């Protein structure tokens, strides 16, 4: 299970990076938006001036500037917490969104040097009112292919990412299972404590 989770986190990292360059988006075709902007994220990763480990912070800052407007962190945190979300106070919900966001940034900043020249091929786009899915395949240098379906929704007229299905495994559902186990075996407070430790 540990190895599987590690592999999934690598895929999650790829998911975040390959959408990192999506900026302010009008309500249009998500596929066109993703396809035309993916190269910009890759350029950040391939930039030789940012490739050394002492440039890690600058590299992450560049990606973070692009990521923040794109991801619907509130929706991601809400779905990751599942039924436990409704049991939290408004203040706790606000705190959890920030904590979940900080946790994600820390997890993936630790894996920033894992990028190894992966490419992306895009497939179908499906739009259903304010929701959309974009199919893609991450092609690794040795030819291994990873199927990823990006899930987006419109927020104030902009498309934002709230999940991705990596090889038929939902990233957010994966976190929800982990978080639910901690809460069920211990408490919500213990989950918050662990996330703080990992995000710190």
**pLDDT tens per residue, range 63-84:** 777 666 678 899 999 999 999 9
Mean pLDDT of 156-170: 87
Q: What pLDDT is stored for residue 48 in this prediction? A: 75
Domain that holds residue 63: 2-199
Q: What pLDDT is stored for residue 181 in this prediction? A: 96
Measured distance CA(69)–CA(74) in Å, rounded:
12
**How many beta carbons lie within 10 A of that of residue 162, not counting itself?**
21
Mean pLDDT of 14-43: 56
> What percent of the chain has a predicted confidence (pLDDT) above 70?
74
Measured distance CA(194)–CA(10) in Å, rounded:
21
**pLDDT tens per residue, range 121-143:** 888 899 999 999 989 888 888 88
Q: Please count the structural domains in the chain.
A: 1
Q: What pLDDT is stored for residue 49 in this prediction? A: 79
pTM of the model: 0.78
Look at residue 60 and tell me whether its pLDDT is greater than 50: yes
Measured distance CA(81)–CA(29) in Å, rounded:
30
CATH code, domain with 111: 3.10.450.710
Look at residue 9 and tell me whether its pLDDT is greater than 70: no
Q: What pLDDT is stored for residue 167 in this prediction? A: 87
Q: What pLDDT is stored for residue 116 in this prediction? A: 72
Q: Which helix (H) or strand (E) holds 120?
A: strand 119-128
Nearby residues of 119 by Cβ (< 8 Å), 6 or more positions away: 138, 139
**How many beta carbons lie within 10 A of that of residue 21, not counting itself?**
22
Measured distance CA(36)–CA(31) in Å, rounded:
8
Q: What pLDDT is stored for residue 23 in this prediction? A: 39
């Amino acid at each position: 299970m540990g190895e599987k989770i590690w592999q999934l986190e690598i895929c999650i990292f790829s998911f975040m990076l390959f959408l990192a360059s999506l900026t302010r988006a009008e309500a249009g075709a998500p596929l066109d938006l993703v396809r035309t902007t993916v190269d910009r994220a890759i350029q950040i990763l391939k930039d030789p001036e940012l490739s050394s480990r002492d440039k890690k912070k600058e590299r992450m800052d560049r990606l973070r500037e692009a990521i923040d407007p794109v991801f619907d962190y509130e929706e991601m945190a809400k779905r990751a917490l599942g039924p436990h979300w409704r049991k939290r106070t408004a203040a706790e919900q606000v705190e959890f969104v920030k904590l979940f966001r900080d946790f994600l940034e820390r997890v993936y900043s630790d894996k920033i040097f894992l990028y190894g020249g992966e490419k992306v091929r895009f497939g179908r786009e499906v739009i259903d009112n304010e929701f959309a899915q974009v199919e893609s395949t991450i092609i690794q240098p040795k030819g291994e292919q990873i199927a990823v379906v990006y899930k987006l929704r419109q927020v104030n007229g902009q498309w934002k990412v709230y999940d991705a299905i990596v090889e038929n495994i939902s990233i957010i559902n994966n976190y929800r299972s982990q978080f639910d186990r901690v809460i069920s075996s211990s408490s919500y407070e213990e989950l918050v404590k662990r996330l703080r430790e990992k995000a710190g």
